[in-house]
Structure 1
C-alpha cells in the first residue's frame, strides 16, 4: 500500500488535510490535527509519504490517536516512511505523535526532511520501540536531514535492532526517544551515556535517549522541552 498525507496550516483558518491510503488527519482544535490510522500500515512493502507545511505566521500542533505498528508481510519485512516538514517565517510546529512499534521480524526505515525559516519555531519528537511484549526482533533506521534556510542544521542517522552496527543481544538498546528543538540556546547536557542533549552549531538542539523500553512518563532530562511559545496539546 502507498499512503499519502498532506497537512497545510495557514493563519486564520483550519489546516487543510488531504489523505490517500492508510493514514488520515482529523481537526481536534483550531490549530491541532490528530493522525488517525484507517488501515493496517506500514506492512512490509508499504510506503508512506507525509508532508506537513506550516505557512508563515501559522501555528500547528500534530498528535496521533494511537501508536503506529510496523509489521512484516509475507513478501518482505521492510517498509519505509518519508516525512517532510516545512515551517515558514514566524510559524510554529509542535509534532509529537505516539510511538512507532516495530513488531518482531519487521524492518522499518524513516526518512525525515525538515526545512525551517530562520524565524521559525519547531519541536519535532520521535519515539520508537522494537518489539511488542515478548518480542526482541525487528530493526529500525532513522535518517534526519534538517536545514535552516540555506544552512545545514543537522544530518543524523541512528539504527536500532537486528543486524545493525551496534546490535548486541545482551545490552543494545531497543527504544529511542528523540527530539529536535529550534530555537534552543541551552548548553549541552548528559544524564548518562544513553541520554544526551547536544546544541547545534546553527542553533537549536538534538536530544536523544536510548533504552531497553520506552519510558511511560513524560520525557525529562535530555528530552526536556518546556519553553515559552511551545505548548503540548
Structure 2
C-alpha cells in the first residue's frame, strides 16, 4: 500500500526579531522537529524518517516558507533511501520552498540513496524574492554497497524575482537516456551532487568559474548565484568536496 505524506514548515520573525516556527507539521514518514541552531541567529528543523520511505507508489511532499527577514536551516537525521515497492508505480518526492525579502534558507539534507529496483521522481522548486539568500545541497548515491542503482529522475527549478535562475533535469539508472554512466557523464562514479548558493552579494563580487579537483566544477550563473557540481566514488568524498566549496563561497560572501 502506497503512502501519501506532507510536511509543512513556516519560519517567521516574531516581535523580538527572532526566527520562530509558527507552522511545523508532518505526517507519516515525514516527521519534522525543531533542533538546536548553532549559529544562534535563526531556526533549524530536522526531518526525521518515521518509517521506510519512499517506496514505489509513495507520494511525499515537503513545503517550506521562509518569511521576510527570517533565517531557516533544514537538514535531516539520516540518509533517505528510495526502495522498491510492491507495485510498478514510481515514488515521487516533491520539495516546494519560498523565501521572502532579506530571508535565508539553507537546505542541507543528508544523501538520497537510490537502491536497486527502486524508481523515484524527485522535484525541487524554490521561489526567491530579489533579496533572498539560498544555500541548497543535493547529493545522490546510486546504489547501496555492492549493488547497482535504481532509477532516479531529478529536477531542480529555482526562480528569483519571478525569473528563472536554473532549471535542470537529471536521470540515472534503468530507463534513463543512454550514456548516463559513460565517460561524458558519470564515468563510473556512484556519488553525484551539487551545491547552489544564491546571494545578492554576488552581484558585486562573484567567484570565477574553475575546476575544484578532477571531478568538480564551480560555475557562476546568470544571476547572483554560483553552482558547484561534483562526482565522487563514495558519499564521504562527495561531502568533503561540497563542504570545501561551500566554505570558499562563504568566505567570499564574508568579504
TM-score, structure 1 normalization: 0.90
| 8 Å CA contact retained: 2:192, 2:238 | no
CA RMSD of aligned residues (A): 2.4
Alignment of 1:45-194 (within 5 A): 45-76=57-88, 78-165=90-177, 166-168=179-181, 171-183=187-199, 184=202, 185-191=206-212, 194=215
Give the whole-Å Cα distance in 2 for the aligned partners of 1:141 and 1:59. 30
Report the structure number with the largest CA radius of gyration: 2
What's the CA shift for 1:60? 0.4
CA distance in 2, matches of 1:217, 1:173: 10
Distance 1:75 1:7 in 2: 31
Partner of 1:10: 12
Looking at structure 2, the residues matched to 220 and 4 of structure 1 have their Cα atoms a distance apart, in angstroms, of: 32
Q: What is the match of residue 44 of structure 1?
A: 56
Q: Structure 2: which 5+ residue stretches go unaligned?
A: 38-42
Is the CA contact 1:209–1:223 (under 8 Å) kept in the aligned structure 2?
no
Q: Which stretches in structure 1 are left out of the alignment for 5+ residues?
A: none
The normalised TM-score by structure 2 is 0.83
Corresponding pairs, count: 231
Q: What is the rounded CA distance, in whole Å, between the counterparts of 1:176 and 1:191 in structure 2?
A: 14
Structure 1, residues 100-148: CA drift from partner, whole Å, max 9, x if none? 1111111211111110011111100011101111111312111011111
Give me the whole-angstrom Cα distance separating, in 2, the residues matched to 1:221 and 1:111.
21
TM superposition outliers: structure 1 runs of 4+ over 6 Å = none
Decide which structure has greater helix share: 2
- CA deviation vs aligned residue, 1:146-178 (integer Å, no higher than 9, x gap): 111122111111222233222347944322111
State the Cα deviation string for residues 62-104 of structure 1 (Å, max 9, x = none). 1111111110012126211111111110101111111011111
Contact 1:197–1:223 (CA<8 Å) still a contact in 2? no
